[in-house]
């Protein structure tokens, strides 16, 4: 393991992060707020970055260094990104929780009085979700020249999904394209929200957290604060877009529009959302007597929000019937598409596992038959299928372990269960104590550390974080 390479890369990442802090500094200045939180944060972050650049080396980054840089890079971003929150009066543990929730696009919050915080701080809170959405490491690859093989290692370690999706032979060009599409759709959402009557500040903030599938809102009531079906449908549409593969968006825009309807994962993703929306709308209409329109309105928004792991809310589903809550819990485990900003286990993994199960059933009837698992009319290699099975097993074990720890710490089983999946899946809200209109502040200190680890592990697709805790990883 080449530690000089890792420290040098982290130095570049921190310098980049410090420069991004200039934007909320400008927002704070515009609104006449204290500049101290950002001035101190910028100084500390950039100086630390420059100090780490002392370890400059021309040696190539290999696969191990790529995984270490990504895993430790997210930790560093969460820690240094928490400094503005600390200087705003939030306790260190809560500040790191909020920052990790932001960069991992989880959206679970410890803030109990959101509107009381300065606009600059809330802008930073939304902005770190936008940066974390496409991946600050992918941004790092996109803007730094001549990464070569090193860039490929970073992209492979950070890219969400079972396989990397290269649009160009050079990883740097792929990263730039993905960020270009991400930025363009973000600008479009800001414009559409402005036309719908939302203020510029609210439009940018909610675009940050919609496109990142993050869910932070600068209102305690989340999107419900707008009390507008039009705004809800606009945000629903963009959450749906953000939950799909951004590489697919690029191909659909610049190559062939049929890529969307041809893609197995996108069709399955759309079908699951429509099925879950229809079921939830029926349950709300039957059990909650909300009327047909409102049943559909609440259902489609909440299903898209939870399945894409965005976590916005237009209603407190803590008060919904048990059957309606079960539908939400079901989609929590699925998540968005691979290559999206969404969290969860990813739609493609669920689809491939279902097809693998179907192939096994067919083999039970016809033992000598060979039936390959296909995705987009191509055979899925056995190593990919085996990797997906391992991923799901480890994912569920981490979920069960964190649920057990939270329950031992005194939380009720529903709160423990949903807090665990909400953070591991980077979803945001859970049920009961950690409901959509509630804060994670009541969670015990040790429980918050567990949930911070969940967010980190979930955002980096489990393996990237688990690997750095194995002794073999650090051996030459």
β-strand partners of 374: 379
The alpha carbon of 172 is separated from its chain's Cα centroid by a whole number of angstroms, namely 22
105: left (phi over 0), alpha (psi -120 to 50) or beta: left
Q: What is the DSSP letter of 213?
A: T
Q: Is residue 426 part of a domain?
A: yes
β-strand partners of 375: 378
Residue in this structure with the two tokens 């999107």, named with its chain if needed: 223
Q: Is residue 74 part of a domain?
A: no
Q: Is residue 244 part of a domain?
A: no
d(CA 163, CA 140): 20
β-strand partners of 378: 375
* pLDDT (tens digit per residue) in 218-232: 999 999 999 999 999
Q: What is the DSSP letter of 286?
A: I
pTM: 0.91
Residue 319, classified by CB atoms within 10 Å of its CB into exposed (0-12), middle (13-18) or buried (19+), is: exposed
pLDDT of residue 151: 44
Contact, 23 vs 201, CB < 8 A? no
d(CA 429, CA 439): 9
pLDDT of residue 158: 47
Q: How many CA atoms lie within 13 A of 314 on its CB side?
A: 22
Q: Is residue 183 part of a domain?
A: no
What is the chain's percent helix, strand, coil content, to nearest 5?
A: 70, 0, 30
Residue 378, classed as helix, strand or coil, is strand
pLDDT of residue 139: 64
Q: Is residue 439 part of a domain?
A: yes
Q: Is residue 396 part of a domain?
A: yes
- Total count of residues recorded for the chain: 476
With CA atoms as reference, report the closest residue to 276 among 241, 300, 244: 300
pLDDT tens digits in sequence order for the chain, 476 residues long = 778 888 888 898 899 899 999 999 999 999 999 999 999 999 999 999 999 988 777 666 677 777 888 889 899 999 999 999 999 999 999 999 999 999 999 999 999 889 999 999 999 999 999 998 877 666 655 555 444 444 444 445 445 544 445 555 556 677 778 888 889 999 999 999 999 999 999 999 999 999 999 999 999 999 999 999 999 999 999 999 999 988 888 888 777 777 778 888 899 999 999 999 999 999 999 998 888 999 999 999 999 999 999 999 999 999 999 999 999 999 999 988 888 888 888 898 899 889 888 888 877 777 776 777 888 888 888 888 888 888 899 999 999 999 999 999 999 999 999 999 999 999 999 999 999 988 999 999 999 999 999 999 998 888 888 888 888 777 76
Q: How many CA atoms lie within 13 A of 16 on its CB side?
A: 20
Q: What are phi and psi of 207, to 5 degrees?
A: -70, -45
pLDDT of residue 146: 43
Residue 472, classified by CB atoms within 10 Å of its CB into exposed (0-12), middle (13-18) or buried (19+), is: exposed
Number of H helices, E strands in the chain: 23, 2
Q: Is residue 367 part of a domain?
A: no
Q: What is the DSSP letter of 375?
A: E
With CA atoms as reference, report the closest residue to 135 among 189, 174, 94, 167: 174
- Domain limits for position 464: 384-474
Q: Is residue 434 part of a domain?
A: yes
Contact, 214 vs 429, CB < 8 A? no
Contact, 250 vs 178, CB < 8 A? yes
* pLDDT (tens digit per residue) in 34-69: 999 999 999 999 999 999 988 777 666 677 777 888
Residue 117, classified by CB atoms within 10 Å of its CB into exposed (0-12), middle (13-18) or buried (19+), is: middle
Token output for 242: 């953000």
pLDDT of residue 393: 93
| Residue 248 CB contacts under 8 Å (≥ 6 apart), including other chains | 259, 260, 263, 266, 337, 339
d(CA 468, CA 474): 7
- CA dihedral sign, ordered 202, 104, 183, 273: negative
How many domains in the chain?
1
pLDDT of residue 26: 97
């Amino acid at each position: 393991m080449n530690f000089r390479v890792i420290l040098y890369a982290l130095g570049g990442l921190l310098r980049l992060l410090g420069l991004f802090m200039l934007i909320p500094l400008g927002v704070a200045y515009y609104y006449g707020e204290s500049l101290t939180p950002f001035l101190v944060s910028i100084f500390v972050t950039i100086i630390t970055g420059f100090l780490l650049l002392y370890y400059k080396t021309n040696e190539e980054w290999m696969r191990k260094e790529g995984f270490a840089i990504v895993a430790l890079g997210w930790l560093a971003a969460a820690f240094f990104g928490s400094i503005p929150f600390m200087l705003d009066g939030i306790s260190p543990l809560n500040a790191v929780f909020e920052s990790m929730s932001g960069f991992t696009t989880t959206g679970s919050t410890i803030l109990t009085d959101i509107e009381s915080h300065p606009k600059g701080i809330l802008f930073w809170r939304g902005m770190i979700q936008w940066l974390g959405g496409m991946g600050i490491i992918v941004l790092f690859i996109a803007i730094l020249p001549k990464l070569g093989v090193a860039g490929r290692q970073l992209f492979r370690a950070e890219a969400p999904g079972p396989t990397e999706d290269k649009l160009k032979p050079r990883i740097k060009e792929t990263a730039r394209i993905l960020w270009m599409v991400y930025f363009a759709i973000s600008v479009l959402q800001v414009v559409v929200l402005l036309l719908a009557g939302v203020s510029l500040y609210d439009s940018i903030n909610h675009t940050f957290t919609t496109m990142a599938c993050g869910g932070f809102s600068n209102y305690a009531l989340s999107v419900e604060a707008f009390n507008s079906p039009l705004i809800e449908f606009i945000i629903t549409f963009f959450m749906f877009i953000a939950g799909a593969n951004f590489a697919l968006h690029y191909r659909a825009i610049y190559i062939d529009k049929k890529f969307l309807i041809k893609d197995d994962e996108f069709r399955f993703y759309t079908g699951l959302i429509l099925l879950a929306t229809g079921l939830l709308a029926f349950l709300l209409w039957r059990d909650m007597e909300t009327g047909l329109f409102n049943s559909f309105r609440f259902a489609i928004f909440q299903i898209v929000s939870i399945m894409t792991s965005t976590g916005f809310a237009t209603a407190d589903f803590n008060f919904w019937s048990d059957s309606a809550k079960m539908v939400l819990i079901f989609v929590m485990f699925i998540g968005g598409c691979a290559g999206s900003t969404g969290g969860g286990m990813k739609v493609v993994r669920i689809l491939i596992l279902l097809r693998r199960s179907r192939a096994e059933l067919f083999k039970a009837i016809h033992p000598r038959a060979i039936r390959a698992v296909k995705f987009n009319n191509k055979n899925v290699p056995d190593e990919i299928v085996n990797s997906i099975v391992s991923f799901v097993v480890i994912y569920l074990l981490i979920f069960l372990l964190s649920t057990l720890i939270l329950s031992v710490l005194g939380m009720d089983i529903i709160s423990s269960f949903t807090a665990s999946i909400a953070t591991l899946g980077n979803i945001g809200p859970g049920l009961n104590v950690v409901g959509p209109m509630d804060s994670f502040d009541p969670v015990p200190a040790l429980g918050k550390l567990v949930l911070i680890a969940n967010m980190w592990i979930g955002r980096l697709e489990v393996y990237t974080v688990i690997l750095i805790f194995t002794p073999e990883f650090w051996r030459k």
